Structure 1
Amino acid sequence: MNKVILIGRLTKDPELRFTPSGTAVSTITLAIDRKINSKEQQKSTDFIQVIIWGKQAEATANYINKGCKFAVCGRIQTRTYIDKDNNKRYVTEVVADEVSFIEWGNKSSYRKLSDNDDFGNGVDYGDIPIGDDMTLIDDDVPF
């Protein structure tokens, strides 16, 4: 089984690109704190690169900014490439299956959904954009 769940903060604004066939791909880096000494409460930070595809990539690029808290569920992937000096390099990254916006970007940076958006349905849900690929859960919340 290859499954990872991460919660962290974006180190910079998402980078959105498109493949030659038009598929959206967004790259983010999450800063994730972890304790290294529980008695002294020392922390270390890991920086994890995450690749997000499709409509989730577009939504991430449109609504999340540097510093926002973000959750990812996905898989770890290692790939190789040849650098400019002809050396073989390895990259380990997380490929997102699901993303969750725990904190949104600044309200002033929101872009309202319209009927023309591929991932929106044009319905006004306040300031929270909801895409077709995001699942709403209508459970009873204890507060």
Structure 2
Amino acid sequence: MRGLNKVSLIGNLGKDPVLQYIDNNTAIAKFSLATTESYKDKNGQTHAETTWHSIVVWRNLAELSGKYLQKGSLVYLEGKIKSRQYDDKDGNTRYITEIVADQLIMLDKKGDQE
């Protein structure tokens, strides 16, 4: 059986994208994205629950993100969940889960982010 690794999110950037160029001048941008869900408890009170996601975009999408997105921007994105491990500066093994986005649509109305 084949697998499927796909995620779709709508949320707001928690910080400005960090754009870098690596290897052969390949663009990579990283930013955090907040998705918020609301629900009512049994007493009728509304509660909001926010989840933070680490987002990575590559190449042209990274350059566009660095140019047009900023903290608070509302975006729709699609991609896949990717987990990896690395050693920090103290030699400790760390694990991180990121969303590697391959589609991104800016949802802000014109003038919302000025």
Deviations 1:47-75 (A, max 9, x none): 10100001011011101111110111000
Name the TM-score, length of structure 1 as normaliser.
0.69
- Tell me if 1:29 matches 2:32: yes
Count of aligned pairs: 109
Task: Percent identity, please.
Answer: 34
Please state which structure has a larger fraction of its residues in strand: 2
The equivalences for 1:64-75 within 5 A come to 64-75=69-80
Name the TM-score, length of structure 2 as normaliser.
0.86
- Given that 1:63 and 1:104 are in contact with CA atoms closer than 8 Å, whether structure 2 keeps it comes out as no
- Tell me if 1:41 matches 2:46: yes
RMSD of aligned Cα (Å): 2.0
Whichever of the two has the greater Rg, that structure is 1
Letter in 1 for 2:26: T
Letter in 1 for 2:37: R
Which secondary structure does the structure 1 equivalent of 2:53 belong to?
strand
Question: Does 1 or 2 have the higher relative contact order (CA < 8 Å, sep 6+)?
Answer: 2
Classify 1:95/1:104 alpha carbon distance in 2 versus 1 (closer, same or farther; 3 Å).
farther
Distance 1:3 1:16 in 2: 24
Classify 1:20/1:59 alpha carbon distance in 2 versus 1 (closer, same or farther; 3 Å).
same
- Given that 1:64 and 1:104 are in contact with CA atoms closer than 8 Å, whether structure 2 keeps it comes out as no
Uncovered stretches (5+) of structure 1, i.e. residues with no partner: 110-143
